[in-house]
Amino acid sequence: MPNPDPTLRDQFLSVSTATLTTALFKRNLRNMCLYGVRPLDPATARMAGPAFTLRYIPAREDLDDLSVFADPRHPQRHAVETIPPGAVMVIDSRGDDHAASAGGILVRRMMVRGAAGIVTDGGLRDSHEIAAMAIPAFCRAPSAPTNLIRHHAVDIDVPIGCGGVAVFPGDWVVGDAEGVVVVPREMAAEVAAEAVAMTAFESWVETEVARGRSIVGLYPPNDATRAEFERFVSEHGGG
C-alpha cells in the first residue's frame, strides 16, 4: 500500500461526515456511516486515510489466554506493527464492546508508526489516555476488560464489516466529531471533490441563514440562488 494521496487526504479532512453521506446518497449508497461508533475526543476527531483492516471472531477460552500475545505473528500485534503510515486501522469487533479491541499501548505504537487513526465497533481500554493522544480514535464505548475475554484475532487486510458497514482494504475512512464514514476507493476522488464543492455552498448558506434569510429557494437552491452563489464564488473565491 503506497502512502495515501495527500490531496485526497486534505480534501477529506476539509469536509464533514454529514456532507459525505449526502454525496454517497446521491450515488444510492445509503449505508456508509458506521452506526454507534463515536470519537473518544470529539474535539480532535478529524481523520482521513485508507482502511487497513483487522478481523476478530468470538474468543474461545482454551485458545485465548495471555500467552498468545508473545507471538509476534498474532494478528492483532502483527497488524499494529505493519499498518502503513497514513492508514486507518479498522477493526471488526462484531459490535461487541464487552471487552476492548485495543488499549493504550497498542494505540500509542500505531500513533508513533504514523497511522492516521483507529476505528472499532467494539470497545477501547485506557480510553482516557487514548483520548489525549495525537491520533483520532473511534469506538462503540470505553471498555476496560482485556481483549481476549471476548475477541480472537484471525485476519489482516480482508474485507470486514464494522458498525454495520462493509469496509474493503483501501476504502477511505473519514472521521469527525460525529462519527465515521467509509468512501469506496473506486469513487473516492469524485466523492471528495463533490463534498468539497458542497461544503463551500453550505458554508455560504449558513451565513445567509444566520443573516435571517429563509431556506425557501436557498436550501436546496433554486436557479436564482445558484446564480447568486456563483457570483459570490467568483467574487470571493469560493469555499
Q: In the range 2-61, which residues lie near its own copies by CB under 8 A?
A: 16-18, 20-22, 25-31, 33, 35-36, 38, 42, 57-61
Per CB under 8 A, which of residues 60..79 are in contact with its own copies? 60-63, 66, 69-70, 72, 77
The CA distance from 199 to 64, in Å, is 47
Q: With contact defined as beta carbons under 8 Å apart, do 121 and 182 qualify?
A: no
142 touches its own copies (CB under 8 A): yes
| DSSP string computed for 8-23 | HHHHHHTS-HHHHHHH
The DSSP call for residue 3 is P
As measured in angstroms, the least distance from the Cβ of 167 to its own copies is 8
| CA–CA dist 137, 121 (Å, integer) | 11
Residue linked to cell 482502511? 51
CB of 110 or CB of 116, closer to its own copies: 110
CB 49, CB 87: distance < 8 Å: yes
CB of 205 to its own copies, least distance (A): 6
Q: Is 98 in the site for its own copies (CB under 8 A)?
A: yes
Q: Answer left, alpha or beta for residue 77, where phi above 0 means left and psi between -120 and 50 means alpha.
A: alpha
Q: How far is the CB of 168 from its own copies (least distance, A)?
A: 9
Binding residues for its own copies restricted to 196-235, rule: CB under 8 A: 202, 205-206, 209-210, 212, 214-217, 219-220, 222
Q: Is residue 120 near its own copies by the rule CB under 8 A?
A: no
Least distance (Å) from its own copies to the CB of residue 193? 18
